[in-house]
A and B are shown apart, each in its own frame.
Chain A
Amino acid sequence: MESEPAAGFFVRAKEALARAGRAAARAQAAALLTLAYFLVIGPAALLARALGADPLSIRRAARTGWIARRAGPARETLTKAG
């Protein structure tokens, strides 16, 4: 049977390892998502700008901010997640 101090040491070590694992996972995710941002979103943004796209309607000249909606039949629209 382990002594109490030894058991406490192992519990603390396990928690520290778990914390380190979570920190490493966060860092890895951040690195991968930053890479995705510059490799996927970046080219898409450059292309959109070259084509004059204005996805947030920032520059577009308009007489109203209301955009007409075209909804399909209610029953069918409910089945789609997008």
Chain B
Amino acid sequence: MRILGLSFDYHDAAAALVVDGVPVAAAQEERFTRVKHDRRLPESAARWCLARANLDAGDLDAIVFYEKPFRKLTRILAGSIATFPRSAAMFRRAAGAWLDERLWVGPRIERALGVPPSKILFCEHHLSHAASAFFASPFDEAAVLVVDGVGEWATASLGRGRRAEGGGWELSLDAEQRYPHSLGLLYSAFTAYLGFEVNEGEYKVMGLAPYGRPRFADRVRAMLAPFGDGSFRLDLDWFAFHRDPARAFAARFEREFGPARAPGAGDPAEDARFCDVAASVQLVCEELVLAMARQAARRAGSKNLCLAGGVALNATANARLLREGGFERIWIQPAAGDAGGALGAALYAAHALGRPPRWEMTRADLGPEHSTAEAADALRRAGLAFEEMRGEDELCSRAAGLLAEGKTLGWHQGRSEWGPRALGQRSILADPRPAEMKRTLNEKIKFRELFRPFAPSAVEESFGELFDAGSPVPDAYRFMLAVAPVREAARARLGAAAHVDGSARAQLVERGRLPLYHRLISRFGDLTGTAAVLNTSFNLKGEPIVETPEDAIATFAASGLDALALGPLLVARRPSGKTEARRRPWAASETPSDGWAW
């Protein structure tokens, strides 16, 4: 059975193709269109998925959209009714968007891909998330927790996955917390207050939090009434996201926490108040995630947990779950945000319509790959001199040598990653030892805020020596989904990778799963005694991660990167010492996402 999952119309549009229960291709639309967080119907991603499997749209058994649009509309109408007459502007914006395109999801898919309406299905938003976690996990049975901003009505859901009595597998969500009472929207309101873009800057709040003390935590807790079972009600006097299209938080916010930070204002890490606010909301977020996860475990009676939804990308909260949640094993979907809904919708339909075998997601490289010939052509067109390595050994030795000399390297290998993290296929790599490498990368390569940390990738043989992540190392570290304390003895060796609180969002690199990347890091370890590299996504601030060799070359040219590896082709030095003028910034999406989930 061939099923295509699609997510679009909110943010991070994506397509994923599942054949007989196994995902064979998955990618976000932004990688093709170069529009960050592109939310449009993912025609390019869908067509690439089909081409990858040598299929036409007519060969598909079903196309599944990742949510129920009409159910979502009822929430928007109910919200307008409940907040009348203060929601006129919100209603105008939302109704305009719905009349223009969102009511017509089915016909738009039909038109774009040429499939009959009978083949178009709709999976609930949180079921899509839940399926993206459970049906990709190694578990026979597990509690399931989904936490995000909002789907149709649900903002958090509890459920379970297990073997069905009559054969096959069964996934159900048994309880949900509903809009507007949302942990994701609470966090997003603080993201907006701290001057970051909602649905983009949440991880910046998480990165800012360790600079502060959670001295406002009680005030954040006062914004909600907890029921003692992980669920809560928000006190809407603090918020405006449910009635105002341009503002997430109400005037009371600024009365309690002081003036909001203007978007683009100076370094927030230099203002203790903003750091403390970030630390406070982060702490409360962790407490709520822990409480919800414990409730999920109680209801399902399981020691395994599957986690998805945008909040599941909060690596600090995930680390607390791993440490304090009481679970034997936790599995988190690497594309836990809405893009991952495309994969989940397809997996859910595959298991609802048939009985495919279970599939475990052990690697995240489900995206496109590009041949050596394509890369060579692109390099020649760009006028860049390159050498072709005679195998992985030579490539890794040369690349590790460059890193050990303090050079920064663009690393473009194999199929691109599914999800927001670069895991060694589309990465910028550097030496993690000197502390000043963080500043170099932020200022000269990525052009981004100085306070933001970088993550290290370490091989399995030395992971435990560098990080205190427990043993065996939890699955979340394979996909860079949790932070871990850097061991005291290793701090000096990871000067650029340890955050201000001594933690790092470390990636575990196993020989059996990522052999080329493992070999590179091992070779770097042979040269330096530290078998870890600094790994950040191969993009500039505000741009999608590079996809093609052309994208990689353009980013190489526009940044201060020292070297570039495209498959076996190595550009060992820049043609001149100068950085070319930056390209048109892609930061501003042509069709920005709607902050408050209409």
Contact = CB atoms under 8 A, between A and B. Distances in A.
Nearest to B353: A75
A67 B177 contact: yes
A34 B73 CA distance: 18
B78 A55 contact: yes
A54 B157 CA distance: 21
Contacts of A58: 82, 233, 236
A37 B65 CA distance: 29
Interface in B41-75: 64-65, 68-71, 73-74
Contacts of A54: 82
A56 interface: yes
A30, A66, A67, A74 pick with most chain B CB within 10 angstroms: A66
Nearest to B157: A69
B174 A69 contact: yes
B81 A41 contact: yes
Contacts of A45: 80-82, 84-85
B233 A33 contact: no
A48 interface: yes
B358 interface: no
Interface string B107-125: 0000000000000011110
B571 to A, nearest CB: 43
A34 B94 CA distance: 12
B231 A37 contact: no
Please report whether the interface of chain B is mostly helix, strand, loop or mixed according to DSSP. mixed
Contacts of A38: 85, 88
Contact of A71 (B73, B83, B173, B236): B173
A6 interface: no
Contacts of A37: 80, 84, 87-88, 91-92, 95
Given A33-B92, A44-B81, A56-B78, A65 B105 contact: no
A13 interface: no
A7 interface: no
A41 B84 contact: yes
Given A56-B82, A56-B180, A81 B92 contact: no
A3 interface: no
A41 to B, nearest CB: 5
Nearest to A47: B81
A78 B352 contact: yes
Given A56-B79, A81-B105, A34 B92 contact: yes
A3 B106 CA distance: 49
A81 B81 contact: no
Contacts of B232: 65
B96 interface: yes
B384 interface: no
Given A81-B70, A82-B68, A74 B181 contact: no
Contacts of B77: 41
B461 interface: no
Contact of B233 (A57, A78, A81): A57
Contacts of A81: 65, 68-70, 105-106, 122
B113 to A, nearest CB: 17
Contacts of B80: 37, 41, 45
Nearest to A79: B121
Interface string B230-252: 11110010000010000000000
A29 B596 CA distance: 21
Contact of B173 (A44, A46, A63, A69): A69
A62 interface: yes
A62 B177 CA distance: 12
Interface in A12-43: 29-30, 33-34, 36-38, 41-42
A69 B81 CA distance: 24
Nearest to B69: A81
A70 to B, nearest CB: 9
B122 A78 contact: yes
B597 interface: no
Interface in B327-377: 348-349, 351-353
A55 B352 contact: no
Interface in B511-554: none
A33 B352 contact: no
Nearest to A36: B95
Contacts of A29: 96
B77, B81, B175, B179 pick with most chain A CB within 10 angstroms: B81
Nearest to B232: A65
A31 B77 CA distance: 18
A78 B586 CA distance: 36
Given A55-B82, A71-B173, A81-B69, A65 B231 contact: yes
A66 B176 CA distance: 5
A37 B86 CA distance: 11
A82 to B, nearest CB: 3
A80 B95 contact: no
Given A29-B96, A34-B92, A41-B80, A67 B175 contact: yes
A41 B158 contact: no
B179 A56 contact: yes
B229 interface: yes
Interface of A: 29-30, 33-34, 36-38, 41-42, 44-46, 48, 54-58, 62-69, 71, 74-75, 77-82
Interface of B: 64-65, 68-71, 73-74, 77-85, 87-88, 91-92, 95-96, 105-106, 121-124, 157-158, 172-181, 227, 229-233, 236, 242, 295, 348-349, 351-353
Across the A-B interface, give the 4 residue pairs with the lowest CB-CB distance, nearest first. Answer: A82-B70, A65-B231, A45-B84, A74-B352
Given A37-B95, A64-B229, A78-B121, 20 more contacts: A30-B96, A37-B80, A41-B80, A41-B81, A41-B84, A41-B87, A42-B84, A44-B81, A46-B84, A54-B82, A55-B81, A58-B233, A58-B236, A62-B227, A66-B231, A68-B175, A69-B157, A74-B351, A78-B348, A81-B106
25 contacts: A33-B91, A34-B92, A36-B91, A36-B95, A37-B87, A37-B95, A41-B87, A44-B81, A45-B80, A45-B85, A56-B83, A65-B177, A65-B178, A65-B229, A65-B232, A66-B177, A67-B175, A67-B176, A69-B173, A69-B176, A71-B172, A74-B352, A78-B348, A78-B353, A82-B68
